[in-house]
Amino acid sequence: MGGVAAALAKAGYVVQGSETDLYEPMKSYLADSGVRVFPEFSGKHLDQFAPDIVVVGNAVSRGVNPELEHALNLRLPIKSLPEIISEGLIARNQSVVIAGTHGKTTTTSMTAHLLHEGGWSPGFMIGGVPGNFDVSCRPVPAARHNTDQGLFVIEGDEYDSAYFDKRSKFLHYRPTVGVVNNIEFDHADIFSSLDDVLKSFRLFIRTVPENGLLLVNGDDPNISRLLDDKVSPIATFGLGEQNDWRATSIESGEFGVRFQVQKKGQAFGTFSCALPGEHNARNLLAAIAVSDFYGVPAQALQAATESYVPPKRRMQELATWQGRTVIDDFAHHPTAIRETLRAVAARYPGRRIFVSFEPRSNTTTRNLFQRELEECFEGASGVLLGALDRPWRYSDEERLDTGVLQAALQRQGMFTFAIENDLAGTADWGKYHLEKLSVWTAEGDVIVLLSNGNLGGLRAMLSSG
């Protein structure tokens, strides 16, 4: 929301807003962008500002936010964040929408960087802190806006849009090029099943125009179920021989990842980037295919991939703690955890890996992935399980059983520790993980933090040395 507010201000809109928990660097960034932010929610802000449009984030619910209730009472025009992005930032520019259960932020940042280096100067919205840009969201340059030369790259989230619009965000973004990297069940708070997820992606695929391109992972069996009624041209990417774009001879190690690319069976070039792992080869392959669609030559793409800097919290080397390397990553779905740990093992060969994992998403706090979580930490020497996020939301029958998970990991020979549920919601449970790490780990080991939260303060403790 903050990044979009700043981008809209740069595009010429007058923007103000309210947020009770606004921290640096976003606080200063918004102020420097000319966006005024009130530290509390109140209807008086709307009376003073008299906005043309009120934009409501999807975390805002009815009956608890006085500013929203006042906007409804005044019958002010209300839009979701995806709507305002579509109207104010995408508009009639070409749009590249990167969708999929995993890898959206990484692939979006790769695509934006490659197109930028290829001369397009795209606008973009990236759901993280990108390494190659100073901002997470920027508008299309004014001279190109609403022309054929205007291009906006955006992370296509399948999560819902607002309290009044339960459609996936990506259905608002009208892709010229739609990318579907992978599909699995996730977001159990809004999707009831994998079929429910597939329904939303099927609708997304139908929004790609006939003069655009639908670019899909040809190795993913769930995606293949959606392609019966396509209208737009389609290209596939992946590792299998059947793909239009194929990555071969993949090498992953301390340097990152390196691989050969074939386009329709013909050699296209050798590419590399700083992020290791087969999954990042696939992410980069998608970005290369998109950039080729927009005419960026292979030689320019080779140089651009080598200068790519990953977003923060994507296998980020965060700190060195008592001789241990600390890696910070966003992975929380079992598939993402497995791929991340494989990539860490490739980057730090021969070193023991210890994981601190916080079950925090609406899916992993339930027992929907009980078995998958027991299997996805393969290769780790130890796993520390954090407190469940707000475990009281679910009954004992619905909730992830960290005791059962702990026992399963112990049977695999791992050092394992789990935070009791009665510590959930406290700010300092990370100190218990720190105590275990002090005993279990040694100089030269790798500690991997897996969470979209703060692990009970553990991240800050390890970062302080």
DSSP class per residue in 288-333: HHHHHHTT--HHHHHHHHHT--PPTTSSEEEEEETTEEEEEE---S
Cite the beta strand spans of 24-157 per DSSP E.
36-38, 54-56, 78-80, 94-99, 123-125, 137-138, 151-156
144-196 tens-digit pLDDT: 999 989 999 999 999 999 999 999 999 999 999 999 999 998 887 888 899 99
Q: What is the DSSP letter of 287?
A: H
Neighbour order of strands in the sheet with 123-125: 137-138, 123-125, 151-156, 94-99, 177-180, 213-217, 234-238, 245-253, 256-263, 266-273
The percent of residues above 90 in pLDDT, for the chain, comes to: 75
289 is written with which tokens?
């295919």
What is the residue-wise DSSP string for 215-256?
A: EEETT-HHHHTT-TT--S-EEEEESSTT-SEEEEEEEEETTE
* pLDDT value of residue 142: 94
Q: Count of CB atoms within 10 A of residue 159's CB?
A: 17
Check residue 5 and give its pLDDT.
94
Residue 425: pLDDT band (50, 70, 90) is: low
pLDDT of residue 79: 97
pLDDT tens for each residue of 207-250 = 999 999 999 999 999 999 999 877 899 999 999 999 999 999 99
Q: Is the pLDDT of residue 287 over 80?
A: yes
| Backbone CA torsion sign across 27, 32, 37, 38 | positive
pLDDT at 422 over 90: no
d(CA 420, CA 310): 34
Q: How confident is the model at residue 314 (pLDDT cuts 50, 70, 90)?
A: confident
Question: What pLDDT is recorded for position 452?
Answer: 79
Burial class, 329, CB count within 10 angstroms (exposed 0-12 / middle 13-18 / buried 19+): buried
Domains of the chain from N-terminus onward = 2-76 (3.40.50.720), 83-306 (3.40.1190.10), 316-463 (3.90.190.20)
| Helical (H) or strand (E) element with 18 | strand 16-18
Q: What is the DSSP letter of 93?
A: S
- Displacement of CA 363 from its chain's centroid (Å): 15
DSSP state letter for 448:
E
- For 234-245, give the DSSP string: EEEEESSTT-SE
Collect contacts of 392-396 with beta carbons under 8 A, ≥24 apart.
Answer: 392/424, 393/365, 394/365, 394/366
Q: Which two tokens stand for residue 298?
A: 């292979």
Residue 378 predicted with pLDDT over 70: yes
Helical spans, DSSP H, in 348-385: 370-375
DSSP state of 454: -
- Which residue, 98, 139, 136, is CA-closest to 9? 139
CB 214 within 8 A of CB 156: no
Burial class of residue 50 (count of CB atoms within 10 Å of its CB; 0-12, 13-18, 19+):
exposed
Q: What is the pLDDT of residues 388-412, one digit of tens each?
A: 888 778 888 888 899 999 999 999 9
State pTM to two decimals. Answer: 0.89
Confidence grade of residue 106 (pLDDT, cut at 50, 70, 90): very high
Task: Name the more confident of 393 and 121.
Answer: 121
Q: pLDDT tens for residues 75-85?
A: 999 999 999 99
pLDDT at position 465, please? 65
Look at residue 423 and tell me whether its pLDDT is greater than 80: no
* List of residues 6+ apart from 140 with CB closer than 8 A: 89, 93, 121, 122, 123, 150, 151, 152
pLDDT value, residue 21? 81
**Rounded-to-integer distance, Cα 432 and Cα 211, Å:** 56
C-alpha span between 251 and 63 (Å, rounded):
53
Q: What percent of the chain has pLDDT over 70?
A: 98
Residue 374 has pLDDT above 80, yes or no: yes
Question: 362: pLDDT confidence band, cut at 50, 70 and 90?
Answer: confident
**Ramachandran quadrant class, 371 (left: phi over 0; alpha: psi -120 to 50; beta: rest):** alpha
What are the angstrom distances between the C-alpha of 8 and each of 33, 40, 46, 58, 160? 10, 22, 18, 18, 22
Token representation of residue 457: 């303060």
How many CA atoms does the CB half-sphere of 419 hold within 13 Å?
30
How high is the pLDDT of residue 427?
Answer: 67
Q: How does the average pLDDT of the chain come out, rounded?
A: 93
Q: Is the dihedral of CA 319, 274, 356, 313 positive or negative?
A: positive
pLDDT value for 361: 84
Higher pLDDT, 355 or 11: 355
Contact 257, 280 (CB under 8 A): yes
User: Using CA atoms, how far apart are residues 380 and 12, in angstroms rounded to an integer?
Assistant: 50
Cis peptide before 25 (omega within 30 of 0): yes
